[in-house]
Structure 1
Amino acid sequence: MIGSFKEMDKKRQAFDAERPAPTFTHPVFKSSLLPLFGSIMSGVFLALAFPGFGKTTLVFAALVPLMFAVQSASAKKAAGLGLLCGFVFFIMSLGWLRNLTGMVEGAGLKASALLGYVVLALYCALYVVPFTLAVAFGVKQWAGSNLWKNLRFMFAVSMVWTGAEYLRGLLFTGFPWNPLGVTQYANTTIIQLAEWGGVHLISAFIVWMNAAVFITLRQYTHGSRMKRYRPHFELMLGIAPLALSIAYGMNVLFNVPEYYDSVNVALIQPNIEQTEKWDAAKDREILDTLEELTSAAVRLGTTDLVIWPETALPDPVRLSRSCSALVERMSSHGIPLLAGSMDFDTSGAAPVWYNSSILFGTNGTFLATYNKQHLVPFGEYVPFPSFMRKFTPIEMDFGMGDESTVMPLRGEASFSVLICFEDTVAPLAVKAVRAGARWLVSQSNDAWFDPSAQSEQHLAHAVFRCVENRIPMARCCNTGVSCTIDAYGSMQRNLAVRTKGFTVGALQPRPVGLEQTFYTRSGNAFAKVALLAGATVLFVLRSLNRKKRKKNVQDAE
């Protein structure tokens, strides 16, 4: 097969050498606006592929206009076009952040919220720049009619994008929102390979496909495919990883083992507006809603655990008589209760407050507590508080938890909790599974951003935590999406977003002694390799382009 590829490639290069490249004289090809249009188009296509728009197949060619836009650009122009594309992408896909302006009062705080949204989009856009530099440098060195050089180019840009995407989830506490692989969260066949390389492996396949489409189309525009029929080796090899991932996924899904242990969970979705959660006059109404829904759920008689969402209780349960009394009444039904509540630690010189999840036994006793480990900047703490606090409504910083708590449940159905955006942080799920969790609970309060696409995007990330670690998850959210997800990414959704209600779902805990996935054992090993490979090829390409430019100057002299 390799030999036949080489022979066909030699014939193709011979044909290309005999036929001059076409020249494009139409004004549209000389317009300086065309690269801008290509950059913006890619940004729009990327955003449309994510939940909220749902045009998931667009992602497999979304980067192609950007690659054409920067193929002959200088490094400075390529960087600018990458920044523009990234900004359009994130300003659209993070549009739900605009809803924060309705959560604060005063023109100053509203302006700060809007400015923060724009600054975050610009910051995330920076991580597109290495990709466009790699494309601009790589086209000059490798892209053309030589198959092996084209494959080298495809590999280089795929690694650079994936490495930058991984880096965005690390720096400055990390913002791992909307990696490209997340677009495929509902395509359960493609995402099964995440147990080996996580969501970033799916992202790499997507970029590889984009690069293959770009190389194939570029050969037409640059004279390499003017014959009636030509083998599209790059396109075929670009499709190959996706085809193999589908085949692998089908094999996995057709051979799902049957486990006989199961846990029934009641997920309470109170649908409380965020502004009402801050209104003390609404506290009684909130407690009544929790009691009404919980009482209805436990009457079904098949529940092993009742789950309330993040900060479901309006006041810290250990300080509020009304909250603690409600917990005692609800746990007296003989079913453990997992409640989201603020909690505190007074062992130090000053009290430390936490965003916590507390497990209560059947008599209202404390069984276990988990304190959120990954805090949201400007939501749960203020960086550089002496300067930044005046621009936010946050008066108090939460403390940061330091471990994943494995919470006991009947038999060996122990579980761990992820609070709010922690289900977007892959290492936290890995940490919990390594600690012994057999299933996961995600408690969230997305009322900050609803109604918007945020709830669906949030759910999409959670799906990958399940597939990566082959572990099920119960998601309980104030306004949605409340559901159960199995170890293969399939979802059971019975409650509409922004509705008050409850749902009871069954999940199968990960069996004791089952071998951990490669991803659980190795974490983001693939993404780390991609980061190293991407940085290396970018450095090499930059050096090669400098040498080539220097040689051209010398030849001109």
Structure 2
Amino acid sequence: MSMNLPAKLFLMLVSGFLLSLSAPGYNLWFLAWICLSPLFIIINTSKKINEAVIYSFIFGFAYNFWYLHWLFSLHPLSWLGFNKPSSILISLFVHTAVSVLNSLYFVIFAIIVRYLKKAPFNPYNEGIPNIMLNSFLWVLIFNKIQEWEILFGFPWTLIEYSQYKNIFLIQIAECFGSLSIGFLIVIFNFVFSELLIWMFNIERIAGRYVSRDPGQLETIFKGFALIIVLISFSLFTGIFLYGINKQHFSNLSQSVCVLQGNLPLKVTRGGKQDISFAKKTYSGLLSNNNAKLLVIPEGALPVVFDQDVNVQYWLKTVAKNKQADIISGSYCGENEKLTNCAVLFSPQKNKFFHYEKERLVPFGEYTPFSWILPQFLKRFASNLIGEGFSKGRETLPIKTSIGNAGINICFELIFPRIVRKHSLEGANLLINLSDLSWFNNDRIKQQFLAFAVFRAIENRRPVIIAANNGISAFIDQSGKINSQSIPNTQGVLIDWINPNNKITFYSKYGW
């Protein structure tokens, strides 16, 4: 199979772009099953490893740059004091830098695949064993190494999230996690790439079309047979698992209300002068509400909560008047160590409980290498008492009147390990507090919803998303989205949930 350089470059750009359209929000999920194939063809047929490296990077960049196009919607950054030209340049830099970082994992994958294919010690360098080995390698790099905090891990663009609406197929995540869906997709793409290579390696001999590598056809047949078995198993198992986990309302169902304040970013990341606006907004939303648990988004009370007795009194008064537990995003800490936290007040126990965010957003909540970076880059992580947040201490699930809440804040939802840990520690419902008003783009909110669907299935816990400007949602333990809010609006979302104590195979043994 021979292609010139411009053709390969065009193929990588187009296939990477098309693969990004499988992302949540575009919902062309079927593209995920075929658009990795051109990348695998180039990796396996390039004569030199440096060619495979370059084309893999181009593919990865095209994929990530469009998938994460909402990063550019950081602009305008006037709330941080940047003028329009500076805002555009900074937003473009952030968008490009994150895309480049995520593209490097495609390069790592290509290098290792090429090395293992020629390694004399590797007995699995061809056929089905080679396809299985490469698929496992993909999962290891993209699902595990990519989430390492030391590498500023941002595993946002994982290919399995494209399938979040294929509700029966993804039920298998209860057993093997979301990465099992990615594993299936990669196997299919590898086999499909073998088919394409075989088709284009056919020549006409004596009036007949003959493959230059007829032995490859056996691998293709075995590969598709394996795929049929794996997907059939996943679908039939998924139908069964969905049936037994589908939410049924009963006298054990509990009512929850999410308050979507749609506050401007200058309020949620502002100072004490903004708290009166926040309290007024949420006081208005709380009227005519009889839910047992009230949930207010990330950073909704922009004060140092431990030190602000007025806000503490307000939250206590609201909870006692409503006879409901309240969970709200705020900031906690003292002595120049501030954490992004969630606070709970329970009228029954008449005391406050805290959850502090464990996994912080680089440059958004803390500034790596701050001693050498220019001052303007530190503005993103600025808070009420200094530059950047501190990492929260590990905390157990918070006990509410309706169950044990495993709380995660903002992008902690994309890390299965964090959510899984809460389930093992006794959480029977999961709550995510978010503020996505940083980005003037609704695509990020739809992608965020997909993460929640997988976390619900993996742990068989209902998931509640309370997002400042949407999308707030209720997702049951089967992964079904029962209700969701309209983004960029102010209002309340009320639904019923069934807390669940089941420990899944993935929750207990996942890695």
Q: TM-score, normalised by structure 2?
A: 0.87
Q: CA deviation at 1:322?
A: 5.2
Alpha carbons of structure 1 residues 494 and 202: separation in structure 2 relative to 1, 3 Å: closer
1:54 aligns with 2:27: yes
| CA distance in structure 2 between the aligned counterparts of 1:99 and 1:135, rounded to whole angstroms | 36
- The within-5 A match list for 1:441-460 is 441-460=431-450
Partner of 1:547 in structure 2?
none
CA contact (8 A) 1:382 1:389 kept: no
Decide which structure has greater helix share. 1
Partner of 1:183 in structure 2?
162
Paired letter, 1:247 = F
Q: CA deviation at 1:318?
A: 3.8
Q: Which of residues 146, 155, 159 in structure 1 aligns to 2:136?
A: 159
CA offsets, 1:207-250, max 9 Å, x none? 0000111112222222399479x883422323432222111101
Q: CA deviation at 1:99?
A: 1.8
Q: CA deviation at 1:136?
A: 4.9
| CA distance in structure 1 between the aligned counterparts of 2:223 and 2:397, rounded to whole angstroms | 48
* SS across alignment from 2:362: coil
CA RMSD of aligned residues (A): 2.7
- The within-5 A match list for 1:439-478 is 439-478=429-468
Q: CA deviation at 1:380?
A: 0.9
- The within-5 A match list for 1:364-443 is 365-388=350-373, 390=375, 391-393=377-379, 394-395=381-382, 396-410=387-401, 413-443=403-433
Paired letter, 1:243 = S
Partner of 1:3 in structure 2?
none
Partner of 2:283 in structure 1?
291
Alpha carbons of structure 1 residues 494 and 463: separation in structure 2 relative to 1, 3 Å: closer
| CA distance in structure 1 between the aligned counterparts of 2:109 and 2:125, rounded to whole angstroms | 20
- The within-5 A match list for 1:34-183 is 34-73=7-46, 74-103=48-77, 104=80, 105-106=82-83, 107-108=85-86, 111-133=89-111, 136=114, 149-165=126-142, 166-170=144-148, 171-183=150-162
Identical aligned residues as a percent:
24
Alpha carbons of structure 1 residues 508 and 364: separation in structure 2 relative to 1, 3 Å: closer
CA offsets, 1:159-218, max 9 Å, x none? 221111021012425222121111111211111111222111111110000011111222
Q: CA deviation at 1:359?
A: 0.4
| CA distance in structure 1 between the aligned counterparts of 2:96 and 2:228, rounded to whole angstroms | 36
Partner of 1:519 in structure 2?
506
Decide which structure has greater strand share. 2
Q: Which of residues 349, 356, 361 in structure 1 aligns to 2:341?
A: 356
| CA distance in structure 2 between the aligned counterparts of 1:321 and 1:447, rounded to whole angstroms | 27
| CA distance in structure 2 between the aligned counterparts of 1:341 and 1:153, rounded to whole angstroms | 50
| CA distance in structure 1 between the aligned counterparts of 2:152 and 2:163, rounded to whole angstroms | 25
Q: CA deviation at 1:383?
A: 0.7
Alpha carbons of structure 1 residues 383 and 30: separation in structure 2 relative to 1, 3 Å: closer
CA offsets, 1:57-111, max 9 Å, x none? 1000011122233332110010111111111111111111112232341455653
Alpha carbons of structure 1 residues 160 and 287: separation in structure 2 relative to 1, 3 Å: same
| CA distance in structure 2 between the aligned counterparts of 1:164 and 1:139, rounded to whole angstroms | 17
Alpha carbons of structure 1 residues 185 and 404: separation in structure 2 relative to 1, 3 Å: farther
Q: Which of residues 256, 259, 264 in structure 1 aligns to 2:245?
A: 256
| CA distance in structure 2 between the aligned counterparts of 1:335 and 1:418, rounded to whole angstroms | 21
**Comparing both chains, which one has the higher relative contact order based on Cα–Cα distances under 8 Å and sequence gaps of 6 or more?**
1
| CA distance in structure 2 between the aligned counterparts of 1:54 and 1:196, rounded to whole angstroms | 25
| CA distance in structure 2 between the aligned counterparts of 1:149 and 1:381, rounded to whole angstroms | 46
| CA distance in structure 1 between the aligned counterparts of 2:21 and 2:209, rounded to whole angstroms | 33
> How many pairs align?
481
* SS across alignment from 1:358: strand
CA offsets, 1:260-280, max 9 Å, x none? 522211000111221344566
Alpha carbons of structure 1 residues 430 and 389: separation in structure 2 relative to 1, 3 Å: farther
* SS across alignment from 2:398: coil
CA contact (8 A) 2:258 2:296 kept: yes
Is 129-138 or 434-443 further displaced after alignment?
Answer: 129-138
Q: CA deviation at 1:404?
A: 3.1
Is 86-95 or 34-43 further displaced after alignment?
Answer: 34-43
- The structure that has the greater radius of gyration is 1
Paired letter, 1:311 = G
Q: Which runs of 5+ in 1 are unaligned?
A: 1-23, 525-557
Q: CA deviation at 1:30?
A: 4.3
